[in-house]
Structure 1
Amino acid sequence: MAAGLLIVAVTMMIVLGIPVAVSMALGSVVFVLLNGTPSVVIMHQMVSGIDSFPLLAIPFFILAGNLMNSSAITDRIFDFASKLFAWARGGICYVNIVASVIFAGMSGAAVADAGGLGAIEIKAMRDRGYGDRVSVGLTAASSIIGPLIPPSLPMIIFGFVGDVSIGRLFVAGFIPGIVMALCLAAMVRWIAHKHDLPRDGDFAWSTVGTSFNKAFLSLLTPIIIVGGILGGIFTPTEAAIAAAAYALVLGVVVYRTLSFKDIWDVSRASAEMTASILFIVSAASLFAWIIKTERVAYDFSAALFGFTDNVIVILLLINLLLLIVGCFLDAIAAITILTPILLPVAVAAGVDPAQFGVIMVLNLMIGLLSPPLGIVLYVLSSVSGVSMRDTILGTLPFMIPLLATLFIVTFVPAVSLWLPNLLGF
């Protein structure tokens, strides 16, 4: 009962506009003190919550993504993809998707994709005569591929909170990310056929080869990260450090596009973002400890299974809950709050923790495209100058392939689990 009041109180504070981390920390501290628990538990749980080696991956992946956006790396990747798909009807739309897939293997953050690569993609589509709604809508949809394909910041948080192997989560998200890209490509093909979209030019090996040579070192970045993790060379944390170091070398030594001021600005922005995320994780650690000790997950599971023991219905209800939460709550905050409650329910229903991690992250990424929160919508509206209304309307058609991907991931476990089982993760 008391834990239920805590959840309601935290929810109300978030609705009233109090920052998520402050809401969780304040509610949890009051609960601990009123419950008669020694106050030392507060600091112990909050400090131990972020005293974790895997969490070191967060600042380095953020730094790597920001370095790539501030140097010429994303531009070279986009140029190569555009030359590769010039022959196809609506080729620039396929470029949008492919470039996001490649960038996904570098930053692992949807907002980084939208804010950096997104600006390039929207400008390129506009230059070729595409309307603002299509340009912004497709860019928004493709940007959420990032948190599925390794590396992935939300996967790191889920793995830490749920005590699930981060390496297994990374591998589990790879094929679902490709499935999402294919579903978006199918949507683009339908749009291209319906509206008879033009080709951007003819395919020429010489042009593709030239752009590939310019982008080669940039294209090595996802290969180093993903290949290093899959090959057992890196842990996810070590891969994050390698990614940041490689991006810094490319920007400073090879391309010479990063000045000292750029590095300072990037480092400061990365530190601010990291501090914000770790504050949420720290507050959520205390909150999750209360949820665990008060047996909230057990009670919720018992209530849900008392309502139905049909696994399909349970998964549909969990998906619906996550989609709704994703509309109102930041993904990192939602993962830290809901994982201790929903993961035991999913496991009891026979769902592998890694598969559930992919399901949760995908749901919450779709939430990034859904008002009223919709962080990606706000970012793209800002960088493109398109009104929020047109940004939302442009994104709506692309919800179809995203929800189709969610359905496939939810009810076809092999999509998430085949690769990690094959590689022994």
Structure 2
Amino acid sequence: MTAFLIFTGLILLLLTGIPIFAALGLTATVILLIFEGGIGSVADTVYAHLNKPILTTIPLFVFMAQVMMRAKVIDDLYEMAHTLIGHIRGGLGVATVMACTIFAAISGSSVATALSVGSSAIPQMQRYGYPRRQALGVVAAGGTLGILIPPSGPMILYSIVSEASVGALFLAGIVPGLLLALIFAGYSIVSATLRGGDRPAFAGMPKILRAIRNSIWALMAPPVVMGGIYLGIFTAAEAAAAGSVYALLVAVLVYRNFGLKDLWDCAYSSMRTSMMVFMIIAGAAMFGHAITIIRLPVGVTEMVAEIGLGPLGFMLMVMAMIFVMGMFFESIAIILITTPILLPTMNALEIDLVWYGVLLMINLELAMITPPVGMNLFVIKGITDASLTEVVRGAFPYVLLMLFGLVLLLMMPGLATWLPYSAGFGR
């Protein structure tokens, strides 16, 4: 009964539009006042959660993405993808997925990926006769890869709450992320082949080589960040710093369109985003501490043991619950509400936290393109004159494809765990 009242109150607060950190903090405060008679333990709890070196990755990765976007790297990126494979059947869709995949590895944000790639790709696709609904759908779905392909903001948050290795999570997201990109690209080719119609002419090798040369600096960004982690050259925090320095060097020395005002704007935007995230982490720390005081996570573990759910049954139940939550709440809220409650049960069932983290990211990707609160749906609607219904119908096939990818990863955990554990990250 206590758990029901807590979640009802928290959900009602979130539905009023109150910020996530405030809803979590207020709920925790009420719980602590009722069960402890005060909030004296809050300061130490919040400090312990914010006093972590891994948090430096958040402003650094945000800054890296801001610099690369302001330098207009995405324009060369999409032009390269379009020039390279735009002539094959469904090539425009494949090029869009390719651009989303690479940009996701730069920005770490689904919304930024959908917005940046969509602004360039949708007009191009429509100009070459690509069906409008499919153009909207492929950008909305391709943009979600920003959550899964590292560096990923939600992955960092999950790492902080669960204490799973962020380096292992980053590496674990690569294979499933590329697999989803291949599934999206395959669907684009198959649907275009069934549809028929004209194809753009082959661009020719000189133009292809020129496009690759122009985009080489964008293509090098993911290897700089992830290659260093995989090879053990630097930690995730050091990788974020290296990525930021790389982005600045490219913007200033290569593109030469980045001045002091741009630097100030990027730093200011990064500061605002990071402070918002830190406030949410503080609220989540309070909430996690409060539900631990009332032994709610222990109660969930005991309930699962009584029901007799095994690891797979428990995971299916959790994935279904998060899928439904994703229709109404944003990704950060889902991570910070569910993880502290589920963590003891996952540990008791010996569920790999890195594997679960990747499954969670895919489920959160689904949340980005499922109504009524699918952020990418509204982003695509905002940059086009399409109705929300049209965007939803365009994204629907990709919801089914992502569900297929989720089931595949449930059945084959090695798709996520092979790379990080082969790189030396322990279980």
Bin of the TM-score, shorter chain as denominator length: over 0.9
Residue matched to 1:40: 40
Task: Confirm whether residue 200 of structure 1 aligns to residue 200 of structure 2.
Answer: yes
Residue pairs, 1:247-262, within 5 angstroms: 247-262=247-262
Distance 1:283 1:48 in 2: 13
Residue matched to 1:341: 341
Q: CA deviation at 1:353?
A: 0.7
Residue matched to 1:97: 97
Residue matched to 1:323: 323
Question: Relative to structure 1, is the Cα distance of residues 193 and 239 closer, same or farther in structure 2, using a 3 angstrom cutoff?
Answer: same
Which amino acid is the alignment partner of residue 377 of structure 1? L
Q: CA deviation at 1:3?
A: 5.2
Higher mean C-alpha displacement, 409-418 vs 39-48: 39-48
Q: CA deviation at 1:2?
A: 4.3
Distance 1:198 1:151 in 2: 38
Contact 1:108 1:150 in 2 (8 A): yes
Contact 1:106 1:222 in 2 (8 A): yes
Residue matched to 2:134: 134
Residue matched to 1:392: 392
Contact 2:75 2:120 in 1 (8 A): yes
Which amino acid is the alignment partner of residue 177 of structure 1? G
Question: Relative to structure 1, is the Cα distance of residues 48 and 310 closer, same or farther in structure 2, using a 3 angstrom cutoff?
Answer: closer
Higher mean C-alpha displacement, 381-390 vs 282-291: 381-390
Q: CA deviation at 1:417?
A: 0.9
Task: Confirm whether residue 124 of structure 1 aligns to residue 124 of structure 2.
Answer: yes
Contact 1:327 1:370 in 2 (8 A): yes
Distance 1:46 1:66 in 2: 28
Contact 1:251 1:258 in 2 (8 A): yes
Q: Secondary structure at the match of 1:147?
A: helix
Contact 1:326 1:366 in 2 (8 A): yes
Contact 1:76 1:211 in 2 (8 A): yes
Contact 1:327 1:372 in 2 (8 A): yes
Distance 1:196 1:373 in 2: 34
Higher mean C-alpha displacement, 297-306 vs 135-144: 297-306
Higher mean C-alpha displacement, 234-243 vs 156-165: 234-243
Distance 2:31 2:367 in 1: 30
Contact 1:221 1:243 in 2 (8 A): yes
Distance 1:229 1:121 in 2: 31
Distance 2:368 2:51 in 1: 28
Higher mean C-alpha displacement, 34-43 vs 127-136: 34-43
Contact 2:35 2:294 in 1 (8 A): no
Q: CA deviation at 1:47?
A: 3.0
Q: TM-score normalized by structure 1?
A: 0.95
1:283-307 CA-partner distances (Å, limit 9, x unpaired): 0011011222322222112223433
Residue matched to 1:181: 181
Distance 2:197 2:29 in 1: 58
Question: Relative to structure 1, is the Cα distance of residues 187 and 204 closer, same or farther in structure 2, using a 3 angstrom cutoff?
Answer: same
Higher mean C-alpha displacement, 186-195 vs 260-269: 260-269
Contact 1:152 1:170 in 2 (8 A): yes
Higher mean C-alpha displacement, 119-128 vs 171-180: 119-128
Contact 2:162 2:343 in 1 (8 A): yes
Residue matched to 1:364: 364
Q: CA deviation at 1:198?
A: 3.4
Contact 2:311 2:351 in 1 (8 A): no
Residue pairs, 1:102-181, within 5 angstroms: 102-181=102-181
Residue pairs, 1:210-289, within 5 angstroms: 210-289=210-289
Residue matched to 1:59: 59
Contact 1:90 1:198 in 2 (8 A): no
Higher mean C-alpha displacement, 342-351 vs 169-178: 342-351
Contact 2:90 2:190 in 1 (8 A): no
Identity level (%): 30
Distance 2:203 2:132 in 1: 26
Q: CA deviation at 1:310?
A: 4.0
Runs of at least 5 residues in structure 2 that lack an aligned partner in the other structure: none
Contact 2:381 2:388 in 1 (8 A): yes
Which amino acid is the alignment partner of residue 28 of structure 1? A
Runs (4 or more) in structure 1 with deviation over 4 Å come to 1-4
Which amino acid is the alignment partner of residue 111 of structure 2? V
Distance 1:234 1:147 in 2: 22
RMSD of equivalent CA atoms: 1.8
Distance 2:200 2:230 in 1: 36
Contact 1:136 1:391 in 2 (8 A): yes
1:54-96 CA-partner distances (Å, limit 9, x unpaired): 0111111112112222112111111111111033112110001
Q: Secondary structure at the match of 2:256?
A: coil
Distance 2:4 2:294 in 1: 9
Q: TM-score normalized by structure 2?
A: 0.95
Q: CA deviation at 1:320?
A: 0.6
Higher mean C-alpha displacement, 236-245 vs 266-275: 266-275
1:209-245 CA-partner distances (Å, limit 9, x unpaired): 1111111122111110111111111211111122222
Contact 2:368 2:375 in 1 (8 A): yes
Runs of at least 5 residues in structure 1 that lack an aligned partner in the other structure: none
Q: CA deviation at 1:51?
A: 2.0
Q: Secondary structure at the match of 1:105?
A: helix
Residue matched to 1:290: 290
Question: Relative to structure 1, is the Cα distance of residues 310 and 35 closer, same or farther in structure 2, using a 3 angstrom cutoff?
Answer: closer
Which amino acid is the alignment partner of residue 182 of structure 2? L
Contact 1:183 1:404 in 2 (8 A): no
